Protein backbone atom coordinates (compact mmCIF):
# COMPACT_ATOMS: atom_id res chain seq x y z
CA UNK A 1 0.00 0.00 0.00
CA UNK A 2 1.46 3.38 -0.91
CA UNK A 3 1.43 6.28 1.51
CA UNK A 4 -1.24 8.22 -0.38
CA UNK A 5 -3.66 5.30 -0.35
CA UNK A 6 -2.91 4.68 3.32
CA UNK A 7 -3.54 8.31 4.14
CA UNK A 8 -6.84 8.27 2.28
CA UNK A 9 -7.96 5.17 4.16
CA UNK A 10 -6.86 6.67 7.46
CA UNK A 11 -8.74 9.87 6.82
CA UNK A 12 -11.93 7.91 6.38
CA UNK A 13 -11.63 6.66 9.94
CA UNK A 14 -11.07 9.98 11.63
CA UNK A 15 -13.48 12.62 12.73
CA UNK A 16 -12.93 16.02 11.13
CA UNK A 17 -11.95 18.69 13.62
CA UNK A 18 -14.57 21.44 13.66
CA UNK A 19 -13.62 24.98 12.71
CA UNK A 20 -14.99 26.21 16.03
CA UNK A 21 -12.47 24.04 17.88
CA UNK A 22 -9.57 25.37 15.82
CA UNK A 23 -10.75 28.96 16.19
CA UNK A 24 -11.19 28.55 19.92
CA UNK A 25 -7.65 27.23 20.32
CA UNK A 26 -6.27 30.10 18.23
CA UNK A 27 -8.13 32.67 20.34
CA UNK A 28 -6.80 31.18 23.56
CA UNK A 29 -3.28 31.21 22.13
CA UNK A 30 -3.56 34.88 21.13
CA UNK A 31 -4.83 35.76 24.60
CA UNK A 32 -1.88 34.00 26.18
CA UNK A 33 0.52 35.91 23.92
CA UNK A 34 -1.17 39.24 24.70
CA UNK A 35 -1.15 38.66 28.47
CA UNK A 36 2.54 37.80 28.42
CA UNK A 37 3.58 40.73 26.23
CA UNK A 38 4.37 43.03 29.16
CA UNK A 39 6.50 40.56 31.03
CA UNK A 40 10.25 40.77 31.11
CA UNK A 41 11.69 38.61 28.39
CA UNK A 42 14.91 36.70 28.50
CA UNK A 43 16.91 37.15 25.35
CA UNK A 44 17.63 33.95 23.51
CA UNK A 45 19.64 33.25 20.38
CA UNK A 46 17.37 33.39 17.32
CA UNK A 47 18.50 30.04 16.01
CA UNK A 48 17.77 28.34 19.33
CA UNK A 49 14.38 30.05 19.44
CA UNK A 50 13.53 28.85 15.93
CA UNK A 51 14.48 25.30 16.86
CA UNK A 52 12.43 25.51 20.04
CA UNK A 53 9.39 26.79 18.17
CA UNK A 54 9.74 24.15 15.49
CA UNK A 55 10.16 21.43 18.11
CA UNK A 56 7.14 22.67 20.03
CA UNK A 57 5.08 22.83 16.85
CA UNK A 58 6.16 19.35 15.85
CA UNK A 59 5.51 18.00 19.33
CA UNK A 60 2.11 19.65 19.38
CA UNK A 61 1.22 18.20 16.01
CA UNK A 62 2.41 14.74 17.01
CA UNK A 63 0.57 14.92 20.32
CA UNK A 64 -2.64 15.96 18.57
CA UNK A 65 -2.32 13.22 16.01
CA UNK A 66 -1.57 10.54 18.58
CA UNK A 67 -4.36 11.72 20.85
CA UNK A 68 -6.69 11.66 17.88
CA UNK A 69 -5.50 8.17 17.01
CA UNK A 70 -4.41 9.47 13.62
CA UNK A 71 -0.90 8.17 14.05
CA UNK A 72 0.84 6.48 16.92
CA UNK A 73 3.69 4.17 17.71
CA UNK A 74 2.93 1.65 15.00
CA UNK A 75 5.75 1.53 12.51
CA UNK A 76 7.80 4.30 14.13
CA UNK A 77 10.34 2.13 15.86
CA UNK A 78 10.74 -0.73 13.43
CA UNK A 79 8.73 -3.86 12.84
CA UNK A 80 8.90 -7.63 12.92
CA UNK A 81 11.70 -9.40 11.09
CA UNK A 82 11.20 -9.78 7.34
CA UNK A 83 10.70 -13.54 7.72
CA UNK A 84 8.09 -13.16 10.47
CA UNK A 85 6.30 -10.39 8.60
CA UNK A 86 6.10 -12.59 5.50
CA UNK A 87 4.50 -15.43 7.48
CA UNK A 88 2.06 -13.10 9.25
CA UNK A 89 1.07 -11.19 6.12
CA UNK A 90 0.59 -14.44 4.20
CA UNK A 91 -1.59 -15.75 7.03
CA UNK A 92 -3.56 -12.51 6.90
CA UNK A 93 -4.18 -12.92 3.18
CA UNK A 94 -5.42 -16.47 3.77
CA UNK A 95 -7.53 -15.43 6.73
CA UNK A 96 -9.28 -12.67 4.82
CA UNK A 97 -10.38 -15.24 2.23
CA UNK A 98 -11.85 -17.46 4.93
CA UNK A 99 -15.60 -17.44 5.46
CA UNK A 100 -16.64 -17.40 9.08
CA UNK A 101 -19.10 -20.16 9.96
CA UNK A 102 -22.67 -18.88 9.81
CA UNK A 103 -24.82 -20.13 12.67
CA UNK A 104 -28.47 -20.97 12.14
CA UNK A 105 -30.97 -20.47 14.97
CA UNK A 106 -30.42 -23.24 17.51
CA UNK A 107 -26.83 -23.92 16.46
CA UNK A 108 -23.70 -23.25 18.50
CA UNK A 109 -20.12 -22.28 17.80
CA UNK A 110 -18.13 -24.91 19.68
CA UNK A 111 -14.72 -23.70 20.83
CA UNK A 112 -12.50 -26.47 22.14
CA UNK A 113 -9.28 -25.55 23.88
CA UNK A 114 -6.50 -27.36 25.64
CA UNK A 115 -4.58 -25.29 28.15
CA UNK A 116 -1.39 -25.79 30.07
CA UNK A 117 -1.12 -23.65 33.21
CA UNK A 118 1.96 -23.10 35.36
CA UNK A 119 1.54 -23.65 39.09
CA UNK A 120 4.15 -22.73 41.69
CA UNK A 121 4.00 -22.76 45.44
CA UNK A 122 5.94 -19.50 45.66
CA UNK A 123 2.87 -17.60 46.83
CA UNK A 124 2.32 -19.85 49.83
CA UNK A 125 5.67 -21.34 50.62
CA UNK A 126 5.70 -23.59 53.63
CA UNK A 127 8.48 -25.80 54.80
CA UNK A 128 7.13 -28.73 52.85
CA UNK A 129 6.46 -26.77 49.65
CA UNK A 130 10.07 -26.69 48.46
CA UNK A 131 12.15 -29.28 46.74
CA UNK A 132 15.57 -30.41 47.92
CA UNK A 133 17.23 -27.42 46.21
CA UNK A 134 15.18 -24.99 48.27
CA UNK A 135 13.31 -23.75 45.22
CA UNK A 136 9.50 -23.46 45.12
CA UNK A 137 7.74 -26.49 43.70
CA UNK A 138 6.73 -26.03 40.07
CA UNK A 139 4.51 -28.05 37.74
CA UNK A 140 2.11 -27.69 34.83
CA UNK A 141 -1.63 -28.40 34.97
CA UNK A 142 -3.62 -29.41 31.91
CA UNK A 143 -7.20 -28.23 31.51
CA UNK A 144 -9.51 -29.01 28.60
CA UNK A 145 -12.48 -26.78 27.87
CA UNK A 146 -15.45 -26.86 25.51
CA UNK A 147 -17.51 -23.72 25.15
CA UNK A 148 -20.78 -23.56 23.24
CA UNK A 149 -21.69 -20.08 22.02
CA UNK A 150 -25.28 -19.79 20.74
CA UNK A 151 -26.22 -18.12 17.47
CA UNK A 152 -27.87 -15.41 19.53
CA UNK A 153 -25.15 -14.53 22.01
CA UNK A 154 -27.67 -13.08 24.42
CA UNK A 155 -28.93 -16.60 24.98
CA UNK A 156 -27.42 -19.22 27.27
CA UNK A 157 -23.79 -20.25 26.78
CA UNK A 158 -22.47 -23.63 27.94
CA UNK A 159 -18.95 -24.12 29.28
CA UNK A 160 -17.50 -27.52 30.21
CA UNK A 161 -14.22 -27.39 32.11
CA UNK A 162 -12.23 -30.48 33.04
CA UNK A 163 -10.57 -28.83 36.03
CA UNK A 164 -6.81 -28.54 36.36
CA UNK A 165 -4.96 -31.85 36.33
CA UNK A 166 -1.21 -31.93 37.13
CA UNK A 167 0.60 -33.42 34.12
CA UNK A 168 4.17 -32.07 33.88
CA UNK A 169 6.53 -31.87 36.84
CA UNK A 170 9.87 -30.14 37.26
CA UNK A 171 11.06 -32.26 40.20
CA UNK A 172 10.06 -35.42 42.03
CA UNK A 173 9.08 -33.34 45.04
CA UNK A 174 6.80 -31.20 42.87
CA UNK A 175 5.17 -34.33 41.45
CA UNK A 176 4.54 -35.82 44.88
CA UNK A 177 3.12 -32.54 46.21
CA UNK A 178 0.95 -31.77 43.17
CA UNK A 179 -0.58 -35.26 42.96
CA UNK A 180 -1.30 -35.29 46.68
CA UNK A 181 -2.93 -31.85 46.43
CA UNK A 182 -5.03 -32.93 43.41
CA UNK A 183 -6.17 -36.03 45.29
CA UNK A 184 -7.28 -33.99 48.28
CA UNK A 185 -9.20 -31.55 46.07
CA UNK A 186 -11.06 -34.29 44.23
CA UNK A 187 -13.07 -33.69 41.05
CA UNK A 188 -12.93 -29.99 40.12
CA UNK A 189 -14.66 -30.28 36.74
CA UNK A 190 -17.48 -27.83 36.00
CA UNK A 191 -20.53 -27.66 33.73
CA UNK A 192 -21.49 -23.99 33.57
CA UNK A 193 -24.42 -22.20 32.00
CA UNK A 194 -24.89 -18.45 31.70
CA UNK A 195 -26.69 -16.02 29.41
CA UNK A 196 -24.32 -13.96 27.26
CA UNK A 197 -21.30 -15.79 28.70
CA UNK A 198 -21.60 -14.08 32.09
CA UNK A 199 -20.24 -17.04 34.06
CA UNK A 200 -19.63 -17.08 37.81
CA UNK A 201 -22.15 -14.31 38.36
CA UNK A 202 -19.87 -11.70 36.80
CA UNK A 203 -20.15 -9.69 33.60
CA UNK A 204 -18.92 -11.62 30.58
CA UNK A 205 -15.16 -11.46 30.10
CA UNK A 206 -15.46 -12.58 26.49
CA UNK A 207 -15.40 -10.00 23.68
CA UNK A 208 -18.87 -9.08 22.46
CA UNK A 209 -19.80 -8.83 18.80
CA UNK A 210 -20.09 -5.07 19.25
CA UNK A 211 -16.59 -4.86 20.73
CA UNK A 212 -15.10 -7.00 17.95
CA UNK A 213 -16.87 -4.93 15.30
CA UNK A 214 -15.46 -1.76 16.85
CA UNK A 215 -11.80 -2.64 16.28
CA UNK A 216 -10.26 -1.03 13.22
CA UNK A 217 -9.44 -3.34 10.31
CA UNK A 218 -6.65 -0.98 9.32
CA UNK A 219 -3.59 -2.68 10.90
CA UNK A 220 -1.87 0.64 11.65
CA UNK A 221 -4.92 1.98 13.43
CA UNK A 222 -5.55 -1.34 15.13
CA UNK A 223 -2.02 -1.55 16.54
CA UNK A 224 -2.18 2.06 17.73
CA UNK A 225 -5.43 1.22 19.50
CA UNK A 226 -3.82 -1.83 21.11
CA UNK A 227 -0.89 0.29 22.31
CA UNK A 228 -3.32 2.75 23.88
CA UNK A 229 -5.40 -0.03 25.43
CA UNK A 230 -2.40 -1.82 26.98
CA UNK A 231 -0.44 1.29 27.93
CA UNK A 232 1.24 0.75 31.30
CA UNK A 233 0.48 -2.97 31.41
CA UNK A 234 3.01 -5.78 31.15
CA UNK A 235 6.75 -5.36 30.97
CA UNK A 236 7.03 -3.51 27.67
CA UNK A 237 4.62 -1.86 25.29
CA UNK A 238 5.56 -4.13 22.39
CA UNK A 239 5.53 -7.30 24.47
CA UNK A 240 2.13 -6.52 25.95
CA UNK A 241 0.72 -5.72 22.52
CA UNK A 242 1.66 -9.18 21.25
CA UNK A 243 0.23 -10.81 24.41
CA UNK A 244 -3.01 -8.88 23.89
CA UNK A 245 -3.22 -10.07 20.28
CA UNK A 246 -2.55 -13.69 21.30
CA UNK A 247 -5.19 -13.57 24.05
CA UNK A 248 -7.84 -12.14 21.75
CA UNK A 249 -7.12 -14.65 18.98
CA UNK A 250 -7.33 -17.53 21.45
CA UNK A 251 -10.90 -16.69 22.44
CA UNK A 252 -11.95 -18.34 19.17
CA UNK A 253 -14.50 -15.54 18.66
CA UNK A 254 -12.50 -13.29 16.32
CA UNK A 255 -14.00 -12.92 12.81
CA UNK A 256 -11.80 -13.52 9.78
CA UNK A 257 -11.31 -9.89 8.77
CA UNK A 258 -10.20 -8.94 12.28
CA UNK A 259 -7.89 -11.97 12.46
CA UNK A 260 -6.25 -10.75 9.26
CA UNK A 261 -5.81 -7.26 10.70
CA UNK A 262 -4.37 -8.69 13.94
CA UNK A 263 -1.81 -10.73 11.99
CA UNK A 264 -0.77 -7.63 10.07
CA UNK A 265 -0.62 -5.60 13.27
CA UNK A 266 1.67 -8.24 14.82
CA UNK A 267 3.92 -7.91 11.77
CA UNK A 268 4.53 -4.27 12.76
CA UNK A 269 5.67 -4.99 16.33
CA UNK A 270 9.43 -4.57 16.80
CA UNK A 271 11.25 -7.67 18.00
CA UNK A 272 8.80 -10.19 16.56
CA UNK A 273 10.62 -13.01 14.77
CA UNK A 274 10.12 -16.56 13.51
CA UNK A 275 11.12 -18.63 16.53
CA UNK A 276 10.50 -22.12 15.12
CA UNK A 277 9.78 -23.21 11.56
CA UNK A 278 8.12 -26.46 12.59
CA UNK A 279 6.47 -26.01 15.98
CA UNK A 280 4.21 -28.71 17.39
CA UNK A 281 1.46 -27.79 19.81
CA UNK A 282 -1.00 -30.39 21.06
CA UNK A 283 -0.34 -32.51 17.98
CA UNK A 284 -0.76 -29.65 15.49
CA UNK A 285 2.18 -28.27 13.52
CA UNK A 286 2.78 -24.73 12.35
CA UNK A 287 5.20 -21.82 12.26
CA UNK A 288 5.95 -20.17 15.57
CA UNK A 289 6.13 -16.36 15.62
CA UNK A 290 7.28 -14.79 18.86
CA UNK A 291 8.92 -12.02 20.80
CA UNK A 292 11.36 -12.35 23.70
CA UNK A 293 10.69 -10.08 26.65
CA UNK A 294 14.03 -8.85 27.99
CA UNK A 295 12.63 -7.85 31.36
CA UNK A 296 11.33 -11.32 32.19
CA UNK A 297 13.30 -13.50 29.75
CA UNK A 298 10.02 -15.09 28.70
CA UNK A 299 9.07 -15.44 25.04
CA UNK A 300 5.49 -15.10 23.83
CA UNK A 301 4.72 -17.14 20.71
CA UNK A 302 1.72 -17.49 18.45
CA UNK A 303 1.64 -20.53 16.20
CA UNK A 304 0.03 -20.37 12.77
CA UNK A 305 -0.75 -23.04 10.19
CA UNK A 306 0.95 -21.49 7.13
CA UNK A 307 -1.22 -23.53 4.74
CA UNK A 308 -4.53 -22.16 6.03
CA UNK A 309 -3.65 -19.07 8.04
CA UNK A 310 -5.52 -20.54 11.00
CA UNK A 311 -4.23 -19.91 14.50
CA UNK A 312 -3.14 -23.14 16.17
CA UNK A 313 -2.48 -21.58 19.54
CA UNK A 314 -0.10 -19.57 21.70
CA UNK A 315 2.58 -20.42 24.24
CA UNK A 316 5.10 -18.95 26.67
CA UNK A 317 8.69 -20.19 26.94
CA UNK A 318 11.21 -19.27 29.61
CA UNK A 319 14.61 -18.36 28.19
CA UNK A 320 16.43 -18.73 31.51
CA UNK A 321 16.06 -21.20 34.39
CA UNK A 322 13.19 -20.41 36.77
CA UNK A 323 14.08 -22.31 39.91
CA UNK A 324 13.81 -25.95 38.89
CA UNK A 325 12.31 -25.08 35.50
CA UNK A 326 15.07 -25.31 32.87
CA UNK A 327 15.74 -22.69 30.22
CA UNK A 328 13.78 -23.37 27.05
CA UNK A 329 10.86 -25.02 28.86
CA UNK A 330 7.30 -24.25 27.86
CA UNK A 331 5.52 -22.78 30.88
CA UNK A 332 2.06 -22.34 29.37
CA UNK A 333 0.12 -22.81 26.18
CA UNK A 334 -3.37 -22.78 24.70
CA UNK A 335 -4.68 -24.41 21.53
CA UNK A 336 -8.11 -23.85 20.00
CA UNK A 337 -10.40 -25.53 17.48
CA UNK A 338 -13.75 -24.14 16.37
CA UNK A 339 -16.66 -26.02 14.76
CA UNK A 340 -20.42 -25.53 14.34
CA UNK A 341 -22.70 -27.97 16.17
CA UNK A 342 -26.47 -28.39 16.30
CA UNK A 343 -26.79 -28.85 20.05
CA UNK A 344 -25.03 -28.29 23.37
CA UNK A 345 -24.82 -30.63 26.40
Collapsing DSSP to helix, strand or coil, 229 comes out as helix
Q: Label residue 25 by pLDDT band (50, 70, 90).
A: very low
| pLDDT above 80 (res 260) | yes
Backbone angles phi, psi at 232, to 5 degrees: 90, -10
Most confident of 28-42, 52-66, 107-121: 107-121
- d(C-alpha 242, C-alpha 301), whole Å: 9
Planar angle of CA 283, 305, 343, nearest 5 degrees = 70
What are the two backbone dihedrals, phi and then psi, of residue 153, each rounded to the nearest 5 degrees? -70, -10
* pLDDT recorded at residue 132: 58
Which pLDDT does position 233 carry in this prediction? 81
- Model confidence at 1: pLDDT above 70: no
Chain segment 106-148, per-residue pLDDT in tens: 999 999 999 999 998 854 454 555 665 677 889 999 999 999 9
Task: Tell me what pLDDT residue 73 has.
Answer: 66
CA–CA distance, 330 with 316 (Å, rounded to integer): 6
| Listed residue (306, 328, 303) closest to 317, CA to CA | 328
By percentage, how much of the chain surpasses pLDDT 70?
A: 74
Query: What's the predicted TM-score (pTM) here?
Result: 0.73
Q: What is the pLDDT of residue 83?
A: 86
pLDDT, position 31: 53
- Distance (Å, rounded) from C-alpha 240 to C-alpha 73? 14
Give the tens place of pLDDT for each residue, 301-316: 999 988 888 889 999 9
Other Cβ atoms less than 10 A from the Cβ of 241: the count is 28
At residue 131, the pLDDT reads: 62
Per-residue burial over 185-224, b if 16 or more Cβ lie within 10 Å, else e, is eeeeeeeeeeebbebeeeeeebbeeeebeebbbbbbbbbb
pLDDT in tens, 219-239: 999 999 999 888 888 788 899
Would the CA dihedral through 6, 8, 12, 18 be positive or negative? positive
Amino acid sequence: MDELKLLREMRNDFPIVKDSVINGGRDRLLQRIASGAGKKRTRRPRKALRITLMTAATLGLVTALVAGNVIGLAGWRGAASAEAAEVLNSAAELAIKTSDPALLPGQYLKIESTNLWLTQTAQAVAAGDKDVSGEPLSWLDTEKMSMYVPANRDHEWIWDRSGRIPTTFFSEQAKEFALQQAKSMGDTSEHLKAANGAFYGSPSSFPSEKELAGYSRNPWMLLNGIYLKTLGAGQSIDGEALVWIADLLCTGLVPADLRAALYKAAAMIPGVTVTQDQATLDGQRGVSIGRAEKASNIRQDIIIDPATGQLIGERQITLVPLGTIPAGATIGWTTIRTTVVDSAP
